[in-house]
Amino acid sequence: MQLSSLLFLLIFFILFWPLYRWHRSRASLAPAVFAGLTLGVLFGGLLQVARGWGVVPAELLPWISMVGDSYVNLLHLLVMPLVLISILAAVVKVSHTQALGKISVSVLAVLLGTTAIAALIGVAMALLFDLSAAGLVEGAREAARVEVLNERIGRVTGLSLPEILTSFVPKNIFFDLSGARDTSVIAVVIFAVLLGVAALAVRREFPQEGAEIERFVHVAQVWVMKLVRLIMAFTPYGVMALVAGLIAKSSWADILNLFNFVVASFAAIALMFLVHGLLLLVNGISPLRYFSKVWPVLVFAFSSRSSAATIPLNVETQVEALRNSPAIANFSASFGATIGQNGCAGIYPAMLAVMVALPMGVDVLDPVWLATLVAVVVISSFGIAGVGGGATFAALVVLPAMGLPVTIAALLISVEPLIDMARTALNVNGAMTAGTLTQRWLGREVPGPEIIEG
């Protein structure tokens, strides 16, 4: 490693010290997360400038990624134990199982309804910005991506809705606890619900044994939540490393080349955030107070590009800050990581469908075609992987279902990471919005802490 690169690496690790001091002096995690974000942007921008000074960012990025990726790995480690124990604890504490069905229906209704709205906004933005697949250039990197997509499309094309729903049902719980499938999170949720319902039956028939089960689940939940808070303490440093790496790797030439698509995507995402805020406002919840409490979660989702990795922070924020019931928080966070993702499964495939359809002479404003697109988008939003790349998976389902080629998904690869960050933040916010609205609607049946008042 060159001496100049070694110096910059030393600066990167030295920056952890003021961040640590700032973190220790604040009771809340939010200011430290913002500080980490700011330091990450500044250091990443400095690396971009340092290219002209002979510094080779490629020598530093593996070390920066080591910090960010290690933190994300720890969060992935938390996902399955947290989902299993939290859902199990929520079911055991519910006095009647009918409430679980109402929670599930309410959360899914919000997730899928907002995904349909997101698809329409994606279509509108594609038309407003006059986006089209015509004229997009395929380079060596894009050509390689096409080959990868052609291999992946063979695994997803032809999946029917019954097959997708069947994939949610766990066959080997140890396999799903390892996160081996895209739908493993939902499979673990189903297993936890069944295990909890069985515990309720035991409590009715054998009160003493039922009390022991409830005590065991409570101890396990306390233990897991202590682990969650332990790992959450590393959030500011993980965010700093993730953002610094992203800024340092960004190619401004590629962004300018696809500037219209980037702007249209961010405009669509911003509109969906407004839709979420409007839904909260209509239901008597202050959007300003809501966003003031959830923004640290959105910052991490933006940095990590992983809805699944954000589940622990999502659940904790819903319970501690938004005052949602633990049952509702866990269901909405878990479902939202793989179902009805507004950004990845709603906006993105709808925009791509319009961009491909227009050069083919398709009337994208035809009510039948538009309704079909929205329906396909909503159905395909089941089981979207909650990690970076989920949007591509959604496109591989939607485009062939509409009779359109998938090549365009490869032609946008150069700006995908940047847009995917904002899409992931939108996905996570959709899950938290679904949980908050469900708490508002079912608060009396699923008691929890007092909800945010408008």
DSSP string, 178-202: TT-STTHHHHHHHHHHHHHHHHHHH
pLDDT class of 119 with cuts at 50, 70, 90: very high
- The identity of residue 386, as a single letter, is G
CA distance 8 to 49: 12
pLDDT for res 453: 41
pLDDT at 146 over 60: no
Whether 176 has a pLDDT exceeding 80, the answer reads yes
Cα separations in angstroms, 423 against 28, 83, 88, 202, 267: 26, 23, 30, 43, 11
pLDDT by residue (tens digit) across 425-435? 999 999 999 99
What is the average pLDDT value for the chain, to the nearest integer?
A: 82
Over range 345-371, report the average pLDDT: 90
The reported pLDDT for the residue numbered 450 is 42
> For 209-229, what is the mean pLDDT?
88
When pLDDT is cut at 50, 70 and 90, the band that residue 421 belongs to is confident
Residue 389: pLDDT over 60: no
What pTM was estimated for this model as a whole? 0.78
Question: Percentage of the chain surpassing pLDDT 90?
Answer: 26
pLDDT band at 270 (very low <50, low <70, confident <90, very high): very high
Q: Is the pLDDT of residue 193 over 60?
A: yes
- Under the banding of pLDDT at 50, 70 and 90, the label for residue 356 is confident
pLDDT confidence of residue 257: 62
Which comes out higher in pLDDT, residue 173 or 95? 173
Confidence band for 374, pLDDT divided at 50, 70 and 90: very high
pLDDT digits (tens, 9 = 90+) for 38-95: 898 898 888 877 776 666 667 788 888 898 889 888 878 887 888 888 788 878 876 5
Could you tell me which residues come within 8 angstroms of residue 87 by beta carbon, excluding any fewer than 6 positions away? 188, 189, 192, 193, 196, 327, 330, 331, 334
Q: Judging by beta carbons within 10 Å of its beta carbon (0-12, 13-18, 19+), is residue 54 exposed, middle or buried?
A: exposed
What residue spans define the domains of the chain? 3-442
Please, how many CA atoms are within 13 Å of residue 349, restricted to the half-sphere of its CB?
37
pLDDT at 452: 43
Q: Domain 3-442: which topology?
A: Proton glutamate symport protein (1.10.3860)
Q: Do 358 and 394 contact (CB within 8 A), yes or no? A: no
pLDDT value of position 143: 47
Q: Secondary structure of 356-419 in the HEC alphabet?
A: HHCCCCCCCCCHHHHHHHHHHHHHHCECCCCCCCHHHHHHHHHHHHCCCCCCHHHHCHHHHHHH
Q: Report the C-alpha gap between 216 and 271 in whole angstroms.
A: 45
The structure tokens listed for 270 are: 């911003």
Residue % of the chain over a pLDDT of 70:
83
